[in-house]
């Protein structure tokens, strides 16, 4: 397994899509500082699940998205894809290539994918965990990671080994189990508390149930007393309300008289106002005309005065006369200024010509100087190229000799390592053969125990499923039973007889044989029609003969029991002719039936009811009823409760609460409740059997699991050891083959580099040119350049003087330019002003004539306006006098109307007081009636009829001589005392819970259910604790082996990096391998210190590398990334580290970020990273074996 490609899109400085194709072995990434090499390392860490922004050298995670440059905009997302070669099956996935992708959007969203399929971060971590890669990212050694290894706590160092050994997935399983234990403990504690609380509540609930039964009897007395007192209040309120309505007609007559007076006054006022409205337009018209004429007179007078003033001012104005310089004098001065301007223009042109000649001379001198400088630069560059070529050739000779020495040393090391690998391979092969014999001894090929365990697991699962099904069935049966029982009880309450029927059954009882509805049964669907046809008898009682029925009616009237219906069950023979009518009507049996055919039950009662309904036909609706009546039916009843006879018809409202329908529903509910109870008992027996079978299956499963676990642990231990040995054997064999191939490559490299060294030395001896001629030419060009430079300076001085002379003459010309034109314009302006003054004198004379004519016209118009104003004012005064007379009449009429309205308001106030008193009485009555509904559930009329003061009070606890209950008249004081006494008795009982009996039963059921759940939770907790124990054992075993292998590898690697030094790993708590930390003890050669903080920078780096390399060798991962880890090393230590790199590449792929040339020389592929645009990274790659072949 190795990295194949890495594709970056918008990640940090990789703005464009960039793909790096990695080779097995060592891959080096090189480039200048700041070019983006470490961004490749960050991309690898990020795509494998790194979640810390600081570990990616950023402040937050969005910093990994390309931020833009001066020439390229910022991107909206970053995407990195890593393709891994999985041809060896190291990753637990059925693909030879696995591509892991991660995308981050600037808005904050993040996506992961494996081979293009979306997945979670946890899926990627679990996929990589089996290869030794996890959250610690020990396979990526970034900048500063070496120092972190040394400064880390012992526990942090332990995490590196755990990650390499693949322990983290076991720890995650343990953490999940512990989280479940914590959550389960909270549930367990809560259920234990609930169970204890339920046990504590059961006793008080039993006492509350007993109290509720005693309270029911007392509440009956409270209800009766309250009903009688409230009925008395309602009766009194009715009487007061009747007395307040006697004067209603008298008040109405008074109201009519007052309204007539008001209407007469309002008519008179309306007549006068109409007359005023008719006269008002003429008065308003005259007033408006007078105002307009007055305004015109004032305007004409003002115009007359203004015209006179204007005429006088125009006659008195004097003309302006020009008194300045004459135009001819101004034009003479303009001629002199123009001659001076022409002379200065000629001088400026002469200065321009001089300046152009000097500029041409200066440019010729500068051109000569530049040509000499170019020739001088060519000579200098030729001399520098000769020196650089000689130095480069000498450097190549040195590098080739250094490479020859390194190849010789490497050949000796590889040969030694090959011998060691052969010895390890032979030892591993012997141990593998021995362990394979041990496994054969522990397994007989026929895994009977595992088969029995699987069968037991299936039996346990089947038994558990049967328990769950039985529990669900029981729960459903219990729900059905409770539902049907509740429905039956509700219907039973609604069927309880009321009023006189209840009196006949409970008190009279003489000759009463129960209720009619209890003795009969009606076919389903026809109950409403039968009840409508029975006209109330359906809710009545059954008596045996007519005499007993008459006696019962007399007793009911004497007891004021109310209306009562009886059915006399004396046998009667009757003929039923209704079937003939049905056939004649031509309707089906589903549309109409005879009433007697749907009645079943007690013989006497059923016969009596058939006799009572002998001529009755039942119909589905009124349409069928019409057909039946037309066919000769005597009486027809519909399912909607309508009854039609030859002389009457009643109905119209749908009866939704028929007593017989409720009786049928009650009977059905009782039957359903009995069946549900039987199903519940059967389900309880089934669940008991299922639980017993599940317990037996659980015991058998646990026994077989214990035996199988014991056997598997032994085989697993041998298999784990065998796997390690097989891996060691494979590693040793592969190492032997690689060493042989490496020696062949080294021999080929030695021959090639020896030939190259000889060639370079011959070229160096042949290269020696004499530079004397070039030196002489250089001196001559320098002398010529100095002369040309002096000539250029002199030409520039002359150019400056010519420019100064030109600027002086141009300033004088600008001062004189335009003066002649200005004087010429001034002369023209003076001439124009003199002409304008003559024209103004003519306009003033014309204006004076016009003003005189305006004065005359305005005077005539003003006199005419004054005359009209006088005439209109006289007519307006006459109309005003008539208006005053009408206003006086309107005021008198309005006073009369106001007096009538005051009388009306006074009457309304008096009537309002009467209405308020009546409303108060009505409100009082409504409140009492509402109290009757709210407190007692009875209408006011019903309450007065049944509990009013006129009703006798029956005391069932005392009887007269004949055994009948005693009766006594109503006395309010006695009823108030009775109510107070009953309320005191009820208060003594304290708080009453009327649902105590139902709550007690439900609480007992819940207590049983919680007890079962508590037992299940305790068993689950024990199972989780066993899982945690098994994980700890596995982690202990894996971690012990990993630590020992890493410790041995560290003791072997440290002396290689520090020849003569000593180093070892020490456990901080050897007795607890599950929690112990790991310390590093390092003593370089020649030093006695062991503390890491006292080591130098290079020694610290090598020590950290020794620890990491020990982990790499003990538990190899498919690849490792190292970012400038050798930056602080000198050449000697670098050589030692590179030898280890070469050894690591035998089992793993290396990606190295480096600036060292020697590190590049051992690489199989080079990747050059650079920034050709500002802030954008580009990559160039080259496989070195292709270069060697070329």
Q: Which residues are annotated as a binding site for ATP?
A: 32-39
Give 362's contacts (C-beta < 8 A, 6+ positions apart): 792, 795, 796, 798, 799
Are the beta carbons of 508 and 555 closer than 8 angstroms?
yes
Beta bridge partners of 594: 617
Buried b (16+ CB within 10 A) or exposed e, 860-897: eebeebeebbeebeeebeebeeeeeeeeebbeebbebb
**Could you tell me which of 186, 189, 198, 190 has the C-alpha nearest to residue 1008?**
198
How many Cβ atoms sit within 10 Å of the Cβ of residue 1133?
Answer: 18
Degrees to nearest 5, angle at CA 194 with 192 and 197: 110
3-class DSSP assignment, residue 614: coil
Q: Report d(CA 160, CA 166) in Å as an integer.
A: 10
The answer to whether 682 touches 665, Cβ cutoff 8 Å, is: no
Show the tokens assigned to 405: 């020495």
Q: What are phi and psi of 899, to 5 degrees?
A: -65, -40
Q: Cα–Cα distance between 553 and 562 in angstroms, integer?
A: 10
Q: Which residues pair with 635 in a beta bridge?
A: 616, 645
- Distance in angstroms between the alpha carbons of the first and the last residue of the chain: 29
Tell the residue number behind the tokens 């007052």, with chain if given: 258
- Token pair belonging to 975: 């009823």
Best CA proximity match to 342, nearest among 930, 819, 719: 819
Measuring CA to CA, which residue among 994, 990, 986, 999 is closest to residue 203? 999
- What string of DSSP letters covers 257-293? HHHHHHHHHHHHHHHHHHHHHHHHHHHHHHHHHHHHH
Compute the distance between CA of residue 165 and CA of residue 1115 in angstroms, rounded to an integer.
6
Geometric angle at alpha carbon 1046, from 153 and 1122, rounded to 5°: 70
- CA max distance for the chain: 167
Across-strand partners of 86? Answer: none
DSSP state of 968: E
Residue 928 in tokens:
């009492």
DSSP letter string, 179-243: HHHHHHHHHHHHHHHHHHHHHHHHHHHHHHHHHHHHHHHHHHHHHHHHHHHHHHHHHHHHHHHHH
Q: What does the alpha-carbon distance between residue 238 and residue 13 come to, in Å, rounded to a whole number?
A: 97
Contacts of 761 (CB under 8 A, 6+ apart): 397
DSSP state, residue 539: G
Phi, psi of 5 (to 5 degrees): -140, 155
Instruction: Using alpha carbons, select from 328, 326, 327, 321 the residue that is nearest to residue 834.
Output: 321
- The SS3 call for residue 637 is strand
Q: Which of 330, 250, 37 is nearest to 1153 (CA)?
A: 37
Burial (CB count within 10 angstroms: exposed 0-12, middle 13-18, buried 19+), residue 1013? middle
Whole-Å CA distances, 104 to 46, 67, 133, 1176:
10, 13, 22, 19
Positions at the binding site: 32-39
Closest CA to 334 of 822, 828, 831: 822
Cβ(521)–Cβ(546) below 8 Å: no
In angstroms and rounded to an integer, the radius of gyration of the C-alpha atoms of the chain is 62
């Amino acid at each position: 397994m190795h990295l194949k490609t890495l594709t970056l899109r918008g990640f940090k400085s990789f703005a464009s899509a960039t793909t790096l194709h990695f080779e097995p072995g060592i891959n080096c990434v090189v480039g200048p500082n700041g070019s983006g090499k470490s961004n490749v390392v960050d991309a690898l860490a990020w795509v494998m699940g790194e979640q810390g922004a600081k570990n990616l050298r950023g402040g937050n995670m969005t910093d990994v998205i390309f931020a833009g440059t001066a020439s390229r905009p910022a991107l909206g997302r970053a995407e990195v894809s890593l393709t891994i070669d999985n041809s060896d099956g190291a990753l637990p996935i059925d693909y030879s290539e696995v591509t892991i992708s991660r995308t981050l959007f600037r808005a904050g969203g993040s996506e992961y994918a494996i081979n293009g399929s979306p997945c979670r971060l946890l899926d990627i971590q679990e996929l990589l965990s089996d290869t030794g890669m996890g959250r610690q990212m020990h396979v990526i050694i970034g900048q500063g990671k070496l120092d972190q290894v040394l400064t880390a706590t012992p526990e942090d160092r332990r995490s590196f080994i755990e990650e390499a050994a693949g322990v983290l997935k076991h720890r995650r399983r343990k953490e999940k189990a512990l989280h479940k234990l914590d959550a389960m403990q909270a549930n367990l504690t809560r259920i234990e508390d609930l169970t204890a609380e339920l046990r504590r509540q059961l006793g008080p609930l039993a006492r509350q149930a007993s109290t509720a039964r005693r309270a029911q009897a007392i509440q009956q007395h409270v209800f009766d007393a309250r009903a009688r007192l409230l009925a008395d209040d309602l009766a009194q309120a009715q009487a007061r309300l009747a007395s307040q309505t006697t004067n209603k007609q008298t008040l109405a007559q008074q109201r009519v008289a007052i309204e007539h007076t008001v209407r007469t006054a309002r008519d008179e006022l309306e007549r006068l106002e109409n007359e005023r409205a008719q006269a008002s337009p003429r008065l308003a018209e005259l007033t408006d005309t007078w105002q307009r004429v007055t305004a015109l007179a004032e305007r004409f007078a003002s115009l007359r005065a203004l015209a006179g003033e204007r005429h006088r001012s125009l006659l008195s104005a004097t003309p302006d006369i020009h008194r300045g310089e004459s135009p001819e004098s101004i034009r003479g001065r303009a001629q002199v200024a123009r001659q001076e301007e022409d002379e200065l223009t000629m001088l400026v042109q002469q200065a321009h010509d001089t300046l152009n000649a000097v500029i041409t001379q200066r440019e010729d001198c500068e051109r000569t100087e530049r040509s000499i400088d170019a020739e001088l630069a060519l000579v200098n560059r030729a001399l520098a190229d000769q020196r650089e070529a000689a130095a480069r050739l000498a450097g190549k000779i040195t590098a080739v000799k250094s490479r020859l020495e390194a190849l010789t040393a490497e050949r000796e090391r590889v040969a030694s390592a090959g011998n060691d690998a052969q010895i390890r391979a032979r030892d591993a092969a012997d141990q593998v053969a021995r362990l394979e014999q041990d496994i054969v001894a522990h397994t007989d090929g026929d895994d009977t125990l595992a088969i029995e365990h699987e069968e037991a697991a299936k039996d346990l699962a089947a038994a558990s499923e049967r328990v769950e099904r039985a529990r669900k069935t029981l729960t459903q049966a219990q729900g059905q039973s409770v539902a049907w029982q509740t429905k039956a009880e509700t219907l039973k309450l609604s069927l309880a007889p009321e009023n006189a029927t209840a009196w006949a059954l409970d008190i009279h009882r003489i000759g009463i044989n129960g209720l009619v509805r209890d003795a009969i049964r009606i076919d389903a669907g026809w109950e409403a029609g039968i009840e409508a046809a029975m006209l109330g008898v359906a809710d009545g009682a059954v008596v045996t003969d007519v005499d007993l029925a008459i006696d019962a009616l007399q007793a009911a009237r004497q007891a004021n029991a109310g209306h009562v219906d009886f059915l006399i069950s004396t046998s009667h023979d009757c003929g039923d002719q209704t079937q003939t009518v049905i056939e004649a009507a031509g309707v089906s049996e589903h549309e109409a039936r005879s009433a007697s055919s749907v009645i079943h039950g007690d013989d006497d009662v059923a016969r009596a009811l058939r006799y009572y309904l002998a001529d009755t036909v039942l119909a589905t609706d009124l349409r069928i009823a019409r057909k039946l009546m037309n066919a000769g039916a005597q009486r027809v009843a519909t399912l909607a409760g309508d009854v039609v006879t030859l002389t009457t018809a009643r109905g119209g409202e749908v009866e939704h609460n028929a007593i017989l329908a409720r009786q049928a529903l009650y009977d059905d509910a009782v039957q359903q409740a009995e069946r549900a109870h039987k199903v519940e008992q059967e389900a309880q027996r089934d669940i008991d059997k299922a639980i017993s079978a599940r317990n037996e299956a659980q015991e058998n499963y646990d026994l077989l699991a214990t035996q199988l676990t014991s056997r598997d642990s032994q085989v697993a231990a041998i298999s784990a050891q065998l796997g390690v040995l097989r891996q060691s054997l494979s590693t040793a064999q592969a190492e032997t083959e690689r060493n042989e191939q490496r020696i062949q490559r080294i021999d080929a490299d030695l021959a090639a580099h020896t030939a190259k060294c000889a060639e370079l030395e011959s070229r160096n001896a042949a290269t020696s040119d004499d530079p004397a001629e070039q030196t002489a030419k250089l001196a001559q060009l320098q002398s010529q350049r100095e002369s040309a430079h002096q000539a250029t300076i002199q030409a520039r001085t002359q150019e400056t003087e010519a420019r100064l002379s030109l600027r002086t003459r141009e300033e004088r010309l600008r001062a004189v330019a335009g003066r002649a034109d200005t004087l010429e314009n001034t002369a023209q302006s003076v001439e124009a002003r003199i002409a304008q003054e003559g024209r103004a004198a003519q306009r003033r004379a014309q204006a004076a004539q016009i003003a005189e004519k305006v004065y005359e016209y305005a005077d005539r118009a003003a006199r005419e306006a004054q005359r009209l104003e006088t005439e209109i004012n006289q007519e307006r005064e006459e109309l005003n006098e008539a208006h005053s007379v009408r206003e006086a009449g309107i005021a008198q009429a309005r006073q009369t109307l106001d007096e009538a309205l005051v009388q009306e308001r006074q009457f309304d106030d008096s009537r309002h007081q009467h209405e308020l008193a009546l409303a108060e009485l009505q409100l009082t009555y409504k409140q009492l009636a509402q109290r009757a509904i709210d407190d007692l559930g009875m209408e006011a009329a019903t309450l007065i009829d049944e509990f009013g003061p006129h009703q006798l009070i029956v005391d069932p606890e005392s009887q007269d001589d004949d055994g009948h209950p005693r009766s006594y008249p109503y006395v309010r004081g006695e009823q108030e005392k009775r109510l107070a006494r009953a309320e005191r008795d009820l208060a003594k009982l304290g708080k009453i819970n009327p649902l105590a009996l139902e709550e007690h039963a439900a609480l007992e059921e819940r207590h049983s259910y919680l007890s079962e759940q508590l037992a299940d939770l305790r068993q689950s907790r024990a199972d989780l604790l066993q899982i945690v124990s098994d994980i700890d054992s596995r982690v202990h075993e894996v971690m012990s082996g990993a630590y020992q292998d890493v410790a041995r590898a560290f003791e072997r690697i440290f002396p290689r990096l520090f020849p003569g030094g000593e180093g070892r790993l020490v456990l901080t708590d050897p007795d607890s391998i599950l929690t112990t930390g790991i310390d590093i003890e390092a003593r370089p050669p020649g030093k006695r210190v062991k503390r890491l903080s006292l080591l130098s920078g290079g020694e610290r780096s090598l020590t950290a590398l020794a620890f990491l390399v020990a982990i790499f060798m003990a538990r190899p991962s498919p690849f490792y990334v190292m970012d400038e880890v050798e930056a602080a090393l000198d050449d000697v230590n670098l050589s030692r580290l590179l030898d280890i790199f070469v050894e690591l590449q035998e089992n793993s792929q290396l990606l190295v970020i480096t600036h060292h040339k020697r590190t590049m020389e051992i690489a199989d592929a080079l990747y050059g990273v650079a920034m050709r645009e500002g802030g954008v990274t580009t990559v160039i790659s080259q496989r070195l074996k292709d270069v060697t072949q070329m």
